[in-house]
Structure 1
Amino acid sequence: MKNKKLLYSYCFLISANSYLHAENKPNIVILFADDISAREFPVYGSSVWSKPDGGDTQDLRFRAETPVMEMIAKDGCMVKTCWAATVSSPSRAMMMTGRYAHLHKWWHNKDIGTYTNEKGKKEKWPLYESSPMLIGHIAQKGGYATMWAGKTQMPNCTDIEKYGFDEGCYTPGELSMDNPHTDFTMEKAKGKSMYKIVDNGRIVDTYMQTSYYWQPSVVLVNNPESKKKVTFWPFKDKDKKEYGVNTYGPDVEQKFIFDFMERKVKDGKPFMIYHTSHLGHDAYNFINPDSKNHWPATPKVEWKNGRYVRTAPQITGDNGEYNLNNSLSDEGIHNHIKYLDYQIWKYLQKFKELKIENNTIFIICADNGTSRYGKGSPICQKGCHVPMIIYAPCMNIKHKGETDILMNMADILPTIAEITGVEIPENYEINGESIVPFLTGKKDNHREWIYAYRNNMQLIRGKYVLKDGRGTWYDVSKTPSDLISFPVIKDWNKVSEAHKMEKKKLESILPHFNLHKTDHDDPVK
């Protein structure tokens, strides 16, 4: 294992044919939202979306408002069919490694391959061991400063260097349960999934969590103003005074991201931001614990005269009794997406302020399907069909607007490698394909098939057919209005030769990745 890791750590090569000369290398921001199906983004045109208490609706009151995403989807590239894995951890593994589960071994959230660590103890196989060329490492080798902000969902994430990042702002982040600043956290109580809320002593049936929205738990790693490698925020007197129930986690993440960007622009160094936002993820509602809706309220934002206006939160109260004073949005995933749109607008404003708007590549996507709709589902493409928008003025994108191509989340890593000018060794298996040739017009199509996974289940699709995790085949040659109701193929004699030929091709691909039973764990014994 050590020898293999050393081999690959020295095998990075700076390509002579890098996308841009070193002095003009574009900055990269990846905004990776949480649990949002493509259907929730209005630009995808779905006739159905999610309501605040979960489930399907066509009620326009619960349709997200996304004026900024609509603008950049038109001026950039909006991929019609992008697949991730069906649930969070495996999808993040696909993003960070450019590989599928047969290599990185993150098969499902609680189905992760093990390895024997240096102390001889078995533990989850971390990505930096299974796949020593992560997106952070590649950016660093290309001369980039790197930052990871938001949700981590990876072990030993405070050992940030192992993941290829220079700095981190985690919400909640590792060690968050010991955060001295917030009582929006939980302690184990009697019962399988019973927890005690520290704020008010209430016993709830949920999963262990601390707040990543209101009064968030924030962990900083390698922050230049802190004297420690790992620091709970706030640590300055001024910040401690301002911190409280009206502090919103996504705002804190973006604050530290912008600080990092300012420093790197001042230093003349290109940067890559990996912003794994919680927006879109449901959560225990610490400020409204009796709510039956699944997505806590966000700060109120409104689009007026070509810009967003944010209302300062005015939450009052304590110990589980809070008055929101009509200062927040309504609850629901639609307002999480609206706040995401607000943060995208903030990014664009910051790019202009720093004079890097024409030299920054902005990738907006999500990790898996919406909770209570597709998250974790192996049915059709419910769990894995996610939004993907690439906004890159510096690339002179040839295929603008909605593009009817197939893309995998694994494609991000080789795309970053091409942008940063880092060559991946031929003997290092990567399952993704760079989308740069398609964006720049060197290719008219991107890839012929895409793949997803959940435990031992495999999903694959091409232009004509799709096989889901249950083994059901669908005709995907035409897209239904709800993006999911594809007809099931029951009689192969009634479909075209193109359908039959593609089915045969896809079936020949699957065995290469079908290693859940035979190679579940670290292959190095």
Structure 2
Amino acid sequence: MIKTFLSLGLVSAFFSCTNQTEIKTNTSPPNIILVFADDMGYGDLGSYGATEWETPHLDQLAKDGAKFTQFYVPHAVCTASRAALLTGTYANRLELFGALDHTAKHGLNPEETTIADLLKEKGYTTGMVGKWHLGHLEEFLPTRQGFDSYFGLPYSNDMWPHHPEAKDYYPPLPLMENEKTIDILDEQHQLTTQYTERALDFIDKNKEESFFLYLAHSMPHVPLFVSEKFEGKSRQGLYGDVMMEIDWSMGEIRKKLKDLGLEENTLIIFTSDNGPWLSYGGHAGSTGGLREGKGTSWEGGIRVPAIMTWPGVIPAGTVQDQAAMTIDILPTLAHITQAKLPDLPIDGRNIWPLTQGEKMDHKPYYAYYNQNELQAVMFGKWKLIFPHQYRTIPNDAELSNDGIPVKYDHINLTEPMLFDLVSDPFEQKNVAAENPDILRELEGYAELARQDMGDALTDRTGTGNRKAGRID
């Protein structure tokens, strides 16, 4: 057991330096395509159990590479999850919480190193298509955070005048190119198609050089829209249609890579920013039976599908059941490209061995939510949930299929709960009383996090936190 007087940074360094597998390839560093869905649940792909719609292209992606079955986001909400992905760092360390809207005067600090910054230093051309949500002001846009080009929405697609619970609070929804608004969206039927076309154009333009493409779909976040070519195609309804169009998008990208002869030297990573927004009923996805959803630190909120494919390098058909997290993607890409890690401390580690079907030493992963609440810690097969308030769908709620959400109930969890995620992935049996040593060990890891990043639930201030970028 790791002694709890060690700093979290030393623990991270210990786990990061073990089991480093070399990349068995003679090719140059690959092109990299990172696809991030929005509010897509763990059970929303055929390869993860979906039955009411088909996702053949994403299912094939999983067959061709590594499928992760215990992959996490550290924050079950938009802005925080995206900050963690792009920086390899818990977003609460960066003073980013929740979901920024049009009133925010802050964003991701440009002093932080993003995946795009890291890869630009290695000569990559970098482009982003889709939802940004790390600050809508000019100083915080993707083009100020390492991306050579940008096309998409500055925040969530429901932050517009047609929001069902906040009509006319939000301004018109801007579609941006680089740092300029090029259109105002009053409907979004073509949005996934537009994103896909821009992604294909970026690949075409950069086929002769190494490129990094970050494609952050606005769907299947509500409000749901789908183009005519997929309208009515699924058995489930609109949500299923939207999922089929996202799957089509991946098919178009893989076809483009094959046509250009780039497939063998392109790494594709596909995952989601958090679990489904369950209050939207038929307009929400599936957790695959996991407990709760978006906005909670239960498995349904933070466990997401994750697929990594690089033909001939990542073994086809790999299924990895060891835990990993989106904060691990940046250091893994640094390993693959031999890029220098950021000067400022990060929290992720290189998980390249996991893509090869190997095992690594376990490390603690944390789930933070709200304003810096440490709500859970995971280590190996164990998960400890701390007392906190969480939201849930009322038992008597009448969920609809019209895009109108129901109101949540709020539950006060009053005692720690320990779960064995191998035997009980649905978090039904609290085994804290039977496993006092495990409970103490996970509490020790949590104490490291509280010292380092703070914890509002225990009124702790961390020593390792940094500041968001702000405009006075």
TM-score interval, normalised by the smaller of the two chains:
0.7 to 0.9
Partner of residue 495, structure 1? 435
Larger radius of gyration: 1
The separation in 2 between residues aligned to 1:299 and 1:449, in whole angstroms, is 45
Does structure 1 retain, via aligned residues, the 8 Å contact 2:105–2:137?
Answer: no
The separation in 2 between residues aligned to 1:166 and 1:391, in whole angstroms, is 25
Gap change, CA 1:330 and 1:157, over 3 Å in 2:
farther
Residue aligned with 1:358, SS: helix
Does structure 1 retain, via aligned residues, the 8 Å contact 2:220–2:242?
Answer: yes
Q: Which residue of 170, 175, 180 corresponds with 1:218?
A: 175
Gap change, CA 1:513 and 1:41, over 3 Å in 2:
farther
Shift of 1:193: 2.7
Residue aligned with 1:397, SS: coil
Partner of residue 230, structure 1? 180
Q: Which residue of 108, 132, 151 corresponds with 1:127?
A: 108
Partner of residue 324, structure 2? 407
Q: Which moved more, 1:464-473 or 1:354-363?
A: 464-473
Gap change, CA 1:505 and 1:335, over 3 Å in 2:
farther
Q: Which moved more, 1:70-79 or 1:249-258?
A: 70-79
Partner of residue 200, structure 2? 258
Gap change, CA 1:157 and 1:356, over 3 Å in 2:
farther
Q: Which residue of 299, 315, 326 corresponds with 1:397?
A: 315
The separation in 2 between residues aligned to 1:413 and 1:244, in whole angstroms, is 35
Q: Which moved more, 1:445-454 or 1:338-347?
A: 445-454
Q: Which residue of 127, 130, 133 corresponds with 1:153?
A: 133
Does structure 2 retain, via aligned residues, the 8 Å contact 1:83–1:451?
Answer: no
Q: Are 1:208 and 2:188 an aligned pair? A: no
Gap change, CA 1:73 and 1:92, over 3 Å in 2:
same
Residue aligned with 1:341, SS: helix
TM-score (norm 1): 0.67
Per-residue deviation, residues 461-510 of structure 1 (Å, max 9, x unmatched)? 12232123536323224255xx5344123x52x2385x346434433433
Q: Are 1:338 and 2:253 an aligned pair? A: no
Q: Which residue of 462, 466, 472 corresponds with 2:379?
A: 462
Q: Which residue of 450, 467, 470 corresponds with 1:522?
A: 467
Residue aligned with 1:365, SS: strand
Does structure 2 retain, via aligned residues, the 8 Å contact 1:87–1:108?
Answer: yes
Where in structure 2 are there 5+ consecutive unaligned residues? 1-20, 280-291, 389-414
The separation in 1 between residues aligned to 2:57 and 2:105, in whole angstroms, is 40
Residue aligned with 1:352, SS: helix
Q: Which residue of 73, 82, 89 corresponds with 1:99?
A: 89
The separation in 1 between residues aligned to 2:226 and 2:165, in whole angstroms, is 28
Residue aligned with 1:405, SS: coil
Per-residue deviation, residues 162-186 of structure 1 (Å, max 9, x unmatched)? 210000111x348x99xxxxxx963
Residue aligned with 1:346, SS: helix
Partner of residue 165, structure 1? 147
The separation in 1 between residues aligned to 2:190 and 2:423, in whole angstroms, is 38
Q: Are 1:451 and 2:413 an aligned pair? A: no
Does structure 1 retain, via aligned residues, the 8 Å contact 2:109–2:468?
Answer: no
Gap change, CA 1:260 and 1:78, over 3 Å in 2:
same
Q: Structure 1 vs Structure 2: percent identity of aligned residues?
A: 20
The separation in 2 between residues aligned to 1:20 and 1:127, in whole angstroms, is 35
The separation in 2 between residues aligned to 1:523 and 1:258, in whole angstroms, is 33
The separation in 1 between residues aligned to 2:115 and 2:80, in whole angstroms, is 15
Partner of residue 439, structure 1? 355
Amino acid at match of 2:192: P
Does structure 2 retain, via aligned residues, the 8 Å contact 1:81–1:405?
Answer: yes
Amino acid at match of 1:476: D
TM-score (norm 2): 0.73
After superposition, residues 472-483 of structure 1 pair within 5 angstroms as 472-480=416-424, 483=425
Gap change, CA 1:524 and 1:337, over 3 Å in 2:
closer
Does structure 2 retain, via aligned residues, the 8 Å contact 1:26–1:360?
Answer: yes
Per-residue deviation, residues 278-332 of structure 1 (Å, max 9, x unmatched)? 121011xxxxxxxxxxx3445444xxxxxxxxxxx7xxxxxxxxxxxx7999643
Shift of 1:360: 0.5
Shift of 1:210: 5.2
Does structure 2 retain, via aligned residues, the 8 Å contact 1:296–1:331?
Answer: no
Shift of 1:107: 2.5
Residue aligned with 1:452, SS: strand
After superposition, residues 27-106 of structure 1 pair within 5 angstroms as 27-45=31-49, 63-84=52-73, 85-106=75-96
The separation in 2 between residues aligned to 1:500 and 1:357, in whole angstroms, is 46
Amino acid at match of 1:456: N
Does structure 2 retain, via aligned residues, the 8 Å contact 1:475–1:488?
Answer: yes
- State the number of aligned residues: 400
Per-residue deviation, residues 99-121 of structure 1 (Å, max 9, x unmatched)? 1134211122269xxxxxxxxxx
Shift of 1:37: 2.0
Amino acid at match of 1:457: E
Gap change, CA 1:273 and 1:394, over 3 Å in 2:
farther
Shift of 1:150: 0.7
Amino acid at match of 1:429: P
Partner of residue 108, structure 1? 98
The separation in 1 between residues aligned to 2:181 and 2:177, in whole angstroms, is 5
Residue aligned with 2:262, SS: coil
Does structure 2 retain, via aligned residues, the 8 Å contact 1:381–1:468?
Answer: no
Gap change, CA 1:264 and 1:42, over 3 Å in 2:
same
Amino acid at match of 1:343: S
Amino acid at match of 1:362: I
Q: Are 1:249 and 2:191 an aligned pair? A: yes
Residue aligned with 2:264, SS: coil
The separation in 2 between residues aligned to 1:146 and 1:22, in whole angstroms, is 23
Does structure 2 retain, via aligned residues, the 8 Å contact 1:74–1:402?
Answer: no
Residue aligned with 1:395, SS: coil
Per-residue deviation, residues 427-461 of structure 1 (Å, max 9, x unmatched)? 621101122133246x5236433222102321211
Q: Are 1:193 and 2:150 an aligned pair? A: no
Amino acid at match of 1:282: V
The separation in 2 between residues aligned to 1:384 and 1:166, in whole angstroms, is 31
Per-residue deviation, residues 189-216 of structure 1 (Å, max 9, x unmatched)? xx99332xxxxxxxxxxx63756xxxxx
Amino acid at match of 2:99: N
